[in-house]
Amino acid sequence: MNDTIGALGLALGSAFTAGINLYATIAALGLAAQAGAIQLPPDLQVLAHPAVIAIALVLYVVEFFADKTPYVDSAWDAVHTFIRVPAGAILAARASDR
């Protein structure tokens, strides 16, 4: 039962936060797995790879600065509206281990 609740918490939490900031979510999950703070399901083990963490952190920094520029922010959000939702669904599906 504990594994089911943990998987559900990871699935719901990662899907929700991916809708807010996808790259921070991926980087945080990868860094937490690297530090041994969490155990990712087998389907999400790729998030702990250093290259995935590095790319997520770089894109997080790009998103941070894009958010400060008026027209770039609108374009970034318009494009990422169609990226965040499927990415959150994929994270949730892979976290459920089913």
Give 6-59 pLDDT, tens digit per residue: 888 888 888 889 888 999 999 999 999 999 998 888 889 999 999 999 999 999
> Rounded to the nearest 10 degrees, how much is the dihedral formed by the CA atoms of 49, 53, 55, 61?
180
DSSP secondary structure string for all residues of 55-82:
HHHHHHHHHHHHTTSHHHHHHHHHHHHH
pLDDT at 7: 80
The tally of domains found in the chain comes to 1
What φ, ψ does residue 38 adopt, rounded to 5°?
-135, 160
Per the structure, the complete domain to which residue 87 belongs is given by 2-95
1 pLDDT more than 50: no
Q: What is the pLDDT of residue 2?
A: 59
